[in-house]
Structures are given as C-alpha cells and as structure tokens.
C-alpha cells in the first residue's frame, strides 16, 4: 500500500509538471469533471461465472477504496464521471452502472453498490473491438466534458469476433480517447489461466491499447487482479502514466507502455 500511495503522489506530481496546474485557471469553465472513464470488463464464456463475479468484486473494492477516492479529490475539479460496462459478443455491451459523477466517498460507495447489485449476464465470444467502439460511443454521447477521456478494458483472451481492432483503435484515436489494457494472464495451469496465450500482455500492447501514454498493466493471479485494478484506477484518475520505476515490480511485474495507432 505504501507503493500505491507513492504512485498517487508521483502521478499527481507528473500531472502538474506536465501543465495540469496551468490549466487550473478557468478549468471549471471548460469542463465539469476531471476524467470521463469507461470501465469495460470482459464477461465472455472464456471467463467462468465465479471468475466473472470476482472480477466485479475487485472493481467494487477498488472503486470504494480510500486510495481511489483520494485520487478523485486530488484533481482540479475533484470529481470524475464513470460507467461500468460488461461486454462479450459483438452485440453484447451492457452497462451494469450507467454514467455517474463521483465527487465524494458517498458517491463512490453508492456507485460500487450499484455495480455489485447488477444482474450478471454473459456472452459467448470475445469482441474487444466492439467493446472499444461501444465505449467510445458512450463517451461521445454522455452529458459530461473532461480534459481526459479513458477506456479501461480488461480481458483474458484475444479477440475472436467482431469489429477489427485497428478500426476500433482508430475510432478511439479520432475521438481523443485513450484505451488502457488489463489482461488477465498466468504462467501456471488452473483457474485464471489461458496456457496458449501466455503473451496476452504483448497482444494487448500491440493490438488493443491506443492513445498518448496508453499502457498495459497485466494481472497473473486472482489476488494480483485486485491489486492491478486498484493501481490502474489510481494512475488513470491521477492524470499521468508513471514510469516502470514508479510502478515498481509489484504483483504483476512491470508496466508496459503503448503508443497511439
């Protein structure tokens, strides 16, 4: 947790050094939130029902954590807009919790509770491109404005259906949306494992993420998944992408940074 708080401080410092403080004057006149964030979570059948529930529990715990709330309050406006979307087939993208402004602990807890209480539905295939396109549309059509627009997409396998990823990434780039990735991978057999896809982190870096400073933060076990979600949310909300040294070699090894398509 000490490493995580250091990450928060480093990310915040990087944001202001990069010009965040210069935007503070009149910031509220142009935007109503600091970040528009889509949490896009894979619930295709490659993720079994128990894993799907535990993924959701990990996001719920992170959203209600002190570190995430502290990061939100530390922004120029002190509030973000977020939606939690579960996806699978090319025609299956469902908001478990629609766009909500989080500006306080009470807001965060209420949003997390809605995510936790939503019915769990699942689809057959892994249509990452369609999930990105849907997330871009949700950002374009929401009532909020922010200097940063982010899609945080998780998954445990490569695309096997739907809109080509290069087209989806181009859509995100055109809309000024950054796509970050959280691949769930492992080197051992058992649960949370795709043995034929041990380089899923490379796949996400090369084919999924998009935009300036986009990054991949992999998780290789269930416990690491929870930690990765928390660290990833803090980084995204704080407004900067830390270096591998800032992330350290925690549960998931090292961060991998991508580039715009």
Residue 237 lies in a domain: no
Q: What's the rounded Cα separation, in Å, for the pair 70 and 78?
A: 9
Q: Domain containing 48 — which CATH number?
A: 3.40.50.410
Residue 223 lies in a domain: no
Residue 203 lies in a domain: yes
Q: What is the DSSP letter of 17?
A: I
pLDDT in tens, 12-71: 444 433 444 334 444 445 899 999 999 999 988 776 677 777 788 889 999 989 999 999
Q: By residue range, what is the domain housing residue 132?
A: 33-212
pTM above 0.85, yes or no: no
Residue 163 lies in a domain: yes
Residue 133 CA, distance from chain mean position: 15
| Low-confidence winner among 30-39, 99-108, 180-189 (lowest mean pLDDT) | 180-189
Output the CA angle 155-159-160, nearest 5 degrees: 130
Rg (the chain; Cα; Å): 17
Residue 148 lies in a domain: yes
Residue 130 lies in a domain: yes
Residue 78 lies in a domain: yes
Cβ(36)–Cβ(135) under 8 Å? no
Residue 13 lies in a domain: no
Total of domains in the chain: 1
């Amino acid at each position: 947790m000490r490493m995580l708080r250091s990450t928060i401080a480093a990310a915040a410092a990087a944001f202001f050094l990069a010009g965040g403080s210069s935007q503070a004057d009149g910031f509220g006149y142009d935007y109503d939130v600091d970040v528009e964030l889509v949490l896009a979570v894979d619930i295709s059948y490659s993720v079994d029902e128990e894993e799907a529930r535990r993924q959701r529990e990990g996001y719920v715990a992170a959203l209600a954590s002190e570190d995430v709330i502290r990061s939100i309050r530390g922004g120029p406006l002190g509030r973000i807009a977020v939606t939690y979307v579960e996806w699978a087939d090319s025609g299956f993208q469902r908001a478990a919790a629609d766009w909500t402004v989080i500006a306080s602990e009470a807001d965060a807890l209420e949003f997390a509770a809605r995510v936790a209480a939503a019915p769990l539905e699942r689809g057959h295939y892994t249509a990452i491109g369609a999930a990105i396109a849907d997330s871009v549309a949700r950002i374009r059509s929401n009532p909020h404005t922010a200097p940063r627009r982010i899609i945080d997409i998780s998954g445990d396998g490569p695309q096997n259906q739907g809109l080509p990823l290069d087209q989806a990434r181009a859509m995100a780039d055109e809309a000024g949306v950054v796509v970050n990735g959280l691949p769930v991978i492992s080197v051992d057999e058992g649960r949370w494992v795709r043995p034929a896809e041990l380089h899923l982190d490379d796949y996400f870096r090369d084919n999924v993420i998009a935009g300036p400073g986009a990054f991949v933060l992999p998780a290789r076990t269930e416990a690491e998944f929870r930690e990765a979600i928390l660290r990833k949310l803090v980084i995204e909300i704080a407004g900067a992408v830390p270096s591998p040294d800032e992330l350290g070699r925690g549960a998931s090894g090292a961060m991998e940074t991508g580039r715009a398509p």
